Amino acid sequence: MNPKGQAAMEHWQKHLPERYAKLQDPIGFFTRLGEEAAARYMAIRDADLAGLNPNDGTISWAEWPDRVAQAHQKAMEIVDREMIYLAPEDLPED
């Protein structure tokens, strides 16, 4: 299981215990989720960097590291929000 799958599993155990309890194979589920998250991260990041190449002049070498960092941050935020750190289950009212 990759780090994203592990993070999702820990999050579900703490914040989504009912959903977690319904999983028949949590290890398999979170292993696959981690792999899907990694693939989604790469797709988002690569799409943001598509067409930019410091070797052909579409972007300067000085700007390239910043664009890579921006693409990385954006992809991480989307994957974390949509796949890893889902909103907690509603807490019962007292």
pLDDT of 94 higher than 70? no
Neighbours of 51 (CB within 10 A): 9
pTM: 0.85
Q: What is the pLDDT of residue 91?
A: 57
Question: 4, 37 in Cβ contact below 8 A?
Answer: yes
Q: What is the pLDDT of residue 92?
A: 55
What lies within 8 Å, CB to CB, of 29 at 6+ separation is: 23
What lies within 8 Å, CB to CB, of 3 at 6+ separation is: 34
The mean per-residue pLDDT over the stretch 90-94 comes to: 56
Residue 43 structure tokens: 């797709």
Give tens-digit pLDDT for 22-78. 999 999 999 999 999 999 999 999 999 999 999 998 899 999 999 999 999 999 999
